[in-house]
Structure 1
Amino acid sequence: MGRWGTVALAAATVMATACSPSATNDVTGDETTTSTTRTPRVTDDSGRPPVTFDPCYDIPDDVMNAAGYDAAKKELADMPMGTYTFLGCTYRDDNKVPGIRRGYGLNILAGNVTLDEELSNNAHIATAVSINDRRALLEVDPDRDDTCKYVVETGFGLVMLTRIYHTDYPGSAPIEEWCTGLEELVTSIEPFISA
C-alpha cells in the first residue's frame, strides 16, 4: 500500500466525522428546482484538483444496501493531508457465513493523487485492469492478509475501494478469495463517480 494509502487507511479506522450536505432550493416561477451543492469537507494547499466525488453522498444507499452493506451505518472518514486530500466513507457488511466469514469491512476513498502516482508506489502489487472502460488497478498485497483493493482513475485523481475479508476461523482466508465479488461492486459504483 502506498504512502497515502497507508495513512488514509489507518486514519479511516480511527477518524469518522459527521457532516450533512448543504442543499439549496431555488424557486423559479411555478417550478421548484432543487440543486445540491456541498462545501468540501476537506481541502488542501497542494494546487491539485478539488475532489469532486464524495463516497458517502454520491453513491446511492440502495446500491450499497443491494451489495450487502448497511448504508444507514456508513461513516465519514476524511483525511486532511496538506499536500493532497481524501474524502472517505466506511461501510460494513455483516452478512455472516458460519465457518467462512464474519463479513467485510469496506473503505472508499476519493483522492486528488493520480493513478500513475498510485501505480508508482504500488507497482509490485498492482495489476492494470479496466472498470467499465475506465483505467484502474487491482492491488493484492500478500503481506496484508485478507485485503483487496481496486483503484479507479478519475478526472480529479482516483477512487480507492479497499475491502477487508473478516474470516470466521483462525488465520487468513485463501488469497484467491480476498477479492471475490469486489469487482462487481466496483463496477456498480463506477457510473456514479464524477468524470
Structure 2
Amino acid sequence: MKPGALVLGLVCAVSLAGCASAATGQRASSADDTPSVVSASAAATATPGSTSSSGRPSTAFDPCSDLSPDVLAKMGYDPNYKDAANSTFQGGSYAFRTCGFRSPDYSLRIASGDRTVDEQHDGPRPGDVEEPTNITGRKGYIVRNPSFQLTCSLFFSTSEGEVLMTRTQGEKPQDLGLDVCDDIKKTATVLASALPKGV
C-alpha cells in the first residue's frame, strides 16, 4: 500500500460519513486502500519508547483516550461523543490508533501513527494536492483532492511519527458556499497544543 493511500483508507474504512466521489456520489473504496483492523489488546500493549513488530516506535498517543472534553470543545466538536469503532488498524508496515468525532457540520477522524510525515508526503494518491503548512512548529501538509470534494485532510509530525486528521462534510461545501478545508489548520493547532508531553 502506498503511504498516501492511507488518507483515503482512513476516510473510507473508518470515517463516520464514508467517502463519496464528487462526480458520482458513490462510496469509493479499494481493497488496497482499506487497512486491516488489528486487535485492541495488541494496540493496548504499546508504551512510549517501545517498538512495534515493524521496528518502528509504537504509538502512545491515543485520540480516544487523550483528548479531553475541553479540548474537543475548543476544536469545535461534540465533547461528549467519541467513535472508538475500528480504533486501531495496521496499514502495511504502519500502525495507527484512530478515533472519530462529530460536529453539526462535519465528522472528523484523527489517527496517530508511526509513519513519518515525509513518508506520507512521498506517496500521495493520484489527484492529491498537498499544501505545506506549519502546526505549532511541526511540519505538515493540508491535502485536497478534486475527486473527493467532501473531505479535507491535514497531517503533521510528532515525535512518534505523525497525526493525520480527515474531515468529512455531509453536504457539498460548494453548495453551502464553504471551503471544506476552512479552519482545519485552526483545529489542528488546538489538537497539537493538547498532545501529551513528549509526543
- TM-score category (smaller protein): 0.7 to 0.9
Tell me the CA shift for residue 7 of structure 1. Answer: 2.6
Secondary structure of the structure 2 residue equivalent to 1:8: helix
Match of 1:62 in 2: 70
User: Whole-Å Cα distance in 2 between the matches of residues 92 and 74 of structure 1?
Assistant: 8
- Percent identity of paired positions between Structure 1 and Structure 2: 26
CA apart distance, 1:176: 6.1
Among 54, 61, 85, the residue aligned to 1:53: 61
1:44 positional shift: 4.7
Alpha-carbon shift at residue 184 of structure 1 (Å): 1.0
Amino acid at match of 1:128: P
Bigger Rg, which one: 1
- Checking the alignment, whether the CA contact within 8 Å between 2:74 and 2:190 is kept in structure 1 is no
The answer for the alignment partner of 2:184 in structure 1 is 182
Q: Which runs of 5+ in 2 are unaligned?
A: 17-35
| Structure 1 runs of 4+ with >3 Å offset | 13-17, 38-41
Aligned counterparts, 1:1-195, within 5 A: 2-13=4-15, 39-40=45-46, 44-76=52-84, 77-81=87-91, 83-94=93-104, 103-122=105-124, 124-167=128-171, 172-174=172-174, 177-193=179-195, 194-195=198-199
* In 2: Cα distance, 1:121 partner to 1:163 partner: 20
Aligned CA distance change for structure 1 residues 149 and 120 (closer, same or farther; 3 Å): same
Name the Cα RMSD after superposition: 2.9
Query: Highest relative contact order (Cα 8 Å, sep 6+), 1 or 2?
Result: 2
Letter in 2 for 1:67: M
Change in CA separation of 1:185 and 1:13 when aligned onto 2, cut-off 3 Å: closer
Give the count of matched residue pairs.
164
For 2:52 and 2:159, the matched residues in 1 are separated by 17
Q: What is the TM-score of this pair, normalised by structure 2?
A: 0.72
Structure 2: how far apart are the matches of 1:128 and 1:163?
18
Distance in 1 (alpha carbons) for counterparts of 2:178 and 2:135 = 20
* Unmatched 5+ stretches in structure 1: 20-37, 95-102
